[in-house]
Amino acid sequence: MELYCGNIVYSKSKNELVEYSNAYIAVENGVVEGIYETLPEKYKRLPCKDFGEDVIIPAFTDLHVHAPQYPQRSLAMDEVLVDWLDKYTFPLEAKYKDVEFAKAVYDSFINEIIAQGTMHAVVFGTIHNEATGYLIDQLEKKGISSYVGKVNMDMNSPDYLCESTESSIRDTEKFIDKYINNKYSKPILTPRFAPTCSDTLLEGLGKIAKKYKVGIQTHIEESIWESNEALKQHSNSNCDMEIYEKAGLLDNGPVIAAHFIFPKEKDIDILKRYNGYAVQCPDATVNVIAGIMQTGVLMDKDVNLGLGSDISAGYDLCIHTQIAQAVQLSKIKSFYEPENRKISFAEAFYMGTKGSGKLFGNVGSFEQGYSFDALVISGVSDEFEELSPIQKIERFCGLGNKSNIRARFMRGQEI
Amino acid sequence: MELYCGNIVYSKSKNELVEYSNAYIAVENGVVEGIYETLPEKYKRLPCKDFGEDVIIPAFTDLHVHAPQYPQRSLAMDEVLVDWLDKYTFPLEAKYKDVEFAKAVYDSFINEIIAQGTMHAVVFGTIHNEATGYLIDQLEKKGISSYVGKVNMDMNSPDYLCESTESSIRDTEKFIDKYINNKYSKPILTPRFAPTCSDTLLEGLGKIAKKYKVGIQTHIEESIWESNEALKQHSNSNCDMEIYEKAGLLDNGPVIAAHFIFPKEKDIDILKRYNGYAVQCPDATVNVIAGIMQTGVLMDKDVNLGLGSDISAGYDLCIHTQIAQAVQLSKIKSFYEPENRKISFAEAFYMGTKGSGKLFGNVGSFEQGYSFDALVISGVSDEFEELSPIQKIERFCGLGNKSNIRARFMRGQEI
């Protein structure tokens, strides 16, 4: 049993943040046993680590991140998407053929994702098995709850970053087979998006999904171009989600739909039917100007929503800034498209913690039985104005950085 | 004569960034004497401070910031404007009646603005002479090139934060008279905005402007509500800028028009005629969802453009993040209103340095004769990918924070 004292903030429901001042959190075998405003008699002789005025919050979940794009973060953000892909992103991803390059990047990526307070993630690799294997191995070693995918792309891609349909399917099965029994970092199918994947490829992946019981991450209705191109290439379907449903890719494990900016009603129906997650990546979708997710509308339809850093379309690996940006973008969205409502800070915080964490089980909150994956936030107060614990966290999301994370706990262990 | 070695980046023109790798910058009496790729014979015996792989850039200029709102930064950012003002901002500003409170806040504000790399600023105080006097005194003492205003509001304001017309004019003249001979931090007229200022008040300020030769800062065409309300209150004018022109407020010193989101053609004509500055405050105008400035259009019309942190509608005092956000918002603007073009990183950097710095003379660049107001940026590189000096600065703007500012120079002195 471990005891911690301090301010505590977490999401109880999608629009309710709970705060405690100078309370105690008891952790047993890495799991929250309870929160106490007054310490119960039975715990009074236990040592207690006191975080004073600092605030203990759940660690973040990043539902959409391209690990190989880490070297390119915050660069060329004034380009348009097609130039950004052709001049920077695709040539960079091609470099992961070189596993030594991959090792250097992925070691830094993993250190940084932990530094930024993210302990659960859904991660794109590249088309390369060996490099992506190194990535999943290291995430497993560090104990980061994650899904990691070897990317598939057999058409509509540059020559130097395009697979044959057969090798794409074969390599994917090898990858899934090798890592299917991982404990923390599990493999997931990762067709890049519908425009770069043939029907034959998707059918092949569907068979793997069924055989190994694995889920899928991909980009869904992410831009007007993508939506249209997907239907041109897959003319039997009427929306992005239907393409994957027809390929048998949705009923074998988690379904993570990145972006989901222009969903048709049918996309929403299908996503909900399979209990999938739609992932907003606030900075990213503006930087490549795909559009802005209708977060308020989707939340009111009870779609599972999470946040993604989506480097390197996003600036950096932090989720706390994306919580602030999710609120900001909901205001722009409602300004230009008034049928959309703004979302609250509590709703955005839920998207970055409990709402997305549930993909990984009891993660992202501090209710009894939740994994004590936690951050201690400090250094956001002034001496001339007292802030409530929730205000401290709101300020951290607005202007803080990783240096405000004073301590990190994963499954109860300080790391 | 001082010599510095390192990478160097600065704006030459509004769309041209210059970069040097491992070059020398010679500074004489606080002013840039020259930049040399090879050190001239005559300088070879001088000591040289070597910043290695780090990048020397001009210090930033913040053209619109509400110092008294510092305690509220990054709080209640999910409110709508009217609630944000009534529940938080106005009650906070009223507290500056207490000069002890003001001293505590303004000391922190000034330390933080320097920490964030801003050395030139145009600053709102409150309606209170004593508190705003402390602010201008301290900025003067620190040597920060600035314009500071005691705010005027004699109508359309909460009772506890509203002046009589007479006292507003009288206090303003006292304030201007007291500080008019300051060296670095100069007084400026600061009617909050047209909806809170009567015609009589503006005429009174116009006389002070003429008598003391002082300029004006205010909010211009900042929201649809403000635009309409201004014309309702000042029915002799057809646009915001005309209200101030008619009051004789534009031809006596600098003119700083914050936001300038919905300018009419006549606003633009008037602003240009008086060589005024339009100030984009990227995060702020989205957080209170006033709208997005048409930066590309205004730049192409040769309007002087600058950036403002605009706390506490903006998250924080940093200008580097607002450079990145200016690019991002130009993409949203062109997405929703295609007659607007995106702006480049070079253009946004110019807005935060040379473009706005020229309000203060030879400031914001490193051409010969410019004040050596400089920052040294470090810690943004990775070992696996070499970045150009410009790329390092682009990354700093996208994901950096004040801890990346390794050194600061003001008029050649390290501070």
Residue ranges with strand state E in A98-189: 118-124, 145-149, 151-152, 185-187
Cα distances from B168 to residues A369, B122, B132, B171, B244, in angstroms, run 61, 20, 14, 5, 17
In whole angstroms, give the CA distance from residue A297 to residue B83: 23
- Cross-chain Cβ contact A292/B332 below 8 Å: yes
Assess contact for A351 and B351: CB atoms under 8 A: no
Whether A81 shows a pLDDT value over 90: the answer reads no
pLDDT in tens, A247-278: 999 999 999 999 999 999 999 999 999 999 99
Digits of tens for pLDDT over chain B (415 positions)?
Answer: 999 999 999 999 999 999 999 999 999 999 999 999 999 999 999 999 999 999 999 999 999 999 999 999 999 999 988 889 999 999 999 999 999 999 999 999 999 999 999 999 999 999 999 999 999 999 999 999 999 999 999 999 999 999 999 999 999 999 999 999 999 999 999 999 999 999 999 999 999 999 999 999 999 999 999 999 999 999 999 999 999 999 999 999 999 999 999 999 999 999 999 999 999 999 999 998 889 999 999 999 999 999 999 999 999 999 999 999 999 999 999 999 999 999 999 999 999 999 999 999 999 999 999 999 999 999 999 999 899 999 999 999 999 999 999 999 999 999 9
Cα distances from A313 to residues A77, A81, A245, B223, in angstroms, run 8, 9, 27, 30
Cα distances from A232 to residues A130, A196, A228, B61, in angstroms, run 33, 12, 6, 49
Q: Does B15 touch chain A (CB under 8 A)?
A: no
In whole angstroms, give the CA distance from residue A280 to residue A256: 11
pLDDT at B306: 98
Which of B171, B200, B176, B178 has its CA nearest to residue B189? B176
Residue of B nearest to A385 (CA): B71
Whether A156 shows a pLDDT value over 90: the answer reads yes
The interface residues of chain A toward chain B in range 192-251, judged by CB-CB distance below 8 A, are none
- Interface size, chain A vs chain B, as Cβ–Cβ contacts under 8 Å: 124
pLDDT at A403: 97
Which of B112, B102, B104 has its CA nearest to residue B133? B102
Token pair of A180, please? 């299917």
- The helix-helix angle for B165-179 and B199-212 (nearest 10°) equals 20
Q: Does A48 touch chain B (CB under 8 A)?
A: no
Angle at A297 between CA A293 and CA A301, to 5 degrees: 120
- In this structure, the number of other CB atoms found within 10 A of the CB of residue B236 comes to 9
- Cross-chain Cβ contact A343/B394 below 8 Å: no
Residue of A nearest to B282 (CA): A328
Pairing of strands B405-410, B374-377: antiparallel
pLDDT in tens, B286-344: 998 889 999 999 999 999 999 999 999 999 999 999 999 999 999 999 999 999 999 99
CA distance B270 to chain A (A): 28
Query: Which of B315, B332, B398 lies closest to A289 in CB terms?
Result: B332
In whole angstroms, give the CA distance from residue A45 to residue A25: 15
- Cross-chain Cβ contact B332/A104 below 8 Å: no
Angle at B363 between CA B359 and CA B365, to 5 degrees: 125
Give the burial class of A140: count Cβ atoms within 10 A of its Cβ; 0-12 exposed, 13-18 middle, 19 or more buried: middle
CA distance A228 to chain B (A): 17
Query: Which of A73, A80, A327 lies closest to B77 in CB terms?
Result: A327
- The helix-helix angle for B320-336 and B389-399 (nearest 10°) equals 80
pLDDT at B6: 97
Assess contact for B214 and B180: CB atoms under 8 A: yes
Residue of A nearest to B314 (CA): A398
The interface residues of chain A toward chain B in range 330-349, judged by CB-CB distance below 8 A, are 331-332, 334-336, 342-345, 348
Which 3 state secondary structure label does DSSP give A111? helix
Show the domains of chain B with their CATH numbers.
2-58+365-414 (2.30.40.10), 60-360 (3.20.20.140)
Which of A340, A399, A405 should be substituted to probe chain B, the one whose Cβ sees the most B Cβ atoms within 10 Å?
A399
Token pair of A105, please? 């990047």
CA distance B95 to chain A (A): 11
Residue of B nearest to A343 (CA): B78
Residues in a beta bridge with B154? none
Cα distances from B333 to residues A223, A295, B282, B314, B339, in angstroms, run 16, 19, 12, 18, 9
Q: Which residues contact B320 (CB under 8 A, 6 or more apart)?
A: B60, B116, B117, B352, B396, B397, B400
Q: Does B387 touch chain A (CB under 8 A)?
A: yes
Whether A180 shows a pLDDT value over 90: the answer reads yes
Q: Which residues contact B228 (CB under 8 A, 6 or more apart)?
A: none
Q: Which residues contact A159 (CB under 8 A, 6 or more apart)?
A: none
pLDDT at A25: 98
pTM of the model: 0.98
Q: Does A385 touch chain B (CB under 8 A)?
A: yes
Whether A82 shows a pLDDT value over 90: the answer reads no
- Cross-chain Cβ contact A394/B335 below 8 Å: no
Contacts of B342 in chain A (CB under 8 A): 78, 80, 289
CA distance A196 to chain B (A): 25
Residues in a beta bridge with A23? A6
pLDDT at A291: 94
pLDDT in tens, A27-76: 999 999 999 999 999 999 999 999 999 999 999 999 999 999 999 999 99
Residue of A nearest to B342 (CA): A78
Query: Which of B104, B344, B399 lies closest to A78 in CB terms?
Result: B344
Q: Which residues contact B262 (CB under 8 A, 6 or more apart)?
A: B221, B222, B223, B224, B227, B291
Q: Which residues contact A347 (CB under 8 A, 6 or more apart)?
A: A14, A15, A295, A299
In whole angstroms, give the CA distance from residue A146 to residue A61: 9
Q: Which residues contact A368 (CB under 8 A, 6 or more apart)?
A: A32, A33, A34
Query: Which of A78, A391, A399 lies closest to B327 in CB terms?
Result: A78
- Cross-chain Cβ contact B328/A283 below 8 Å: yes
Query: Which of B286, B394, B401 lies closest to A74 in CB terms?
Result: B394
How confident is the model over A7-20, as a mean pLDDT? 97
Assess contact for B144 and B185: CB atoms under 8 A: yes
- Cross-chain Cβ contact A289/B383 below 8 Å: no
In whole angstroms, give the CA distance from residue B24 to residue B7: 8
Residue B136 identity (one-letter amino acid): I
pLDDT at B82: 86
CA distance A383 to chain B (A): 8
Half-sphere exposure of B63 (CA within 13 A, CB side): 35
CA end-to-end distance (rounded Å), chain B: 17
CA distance A350 to chain B (A): 14
Residue of B nearest to A105 (CA): B384
Q: Does A287 touch chain B (CB under 8 A)?
A: yes
Q: Does A80 touch chain B (CB under 8 A)?
A: yes
Assess contact for B190 and B218: CB atoms under 8 A: yes
How confident is the model over A126-149, as a mean pLDDT? 98
pLDDT at B199: 96
Contacts of B292 in chain A (CB under 8 A): 332
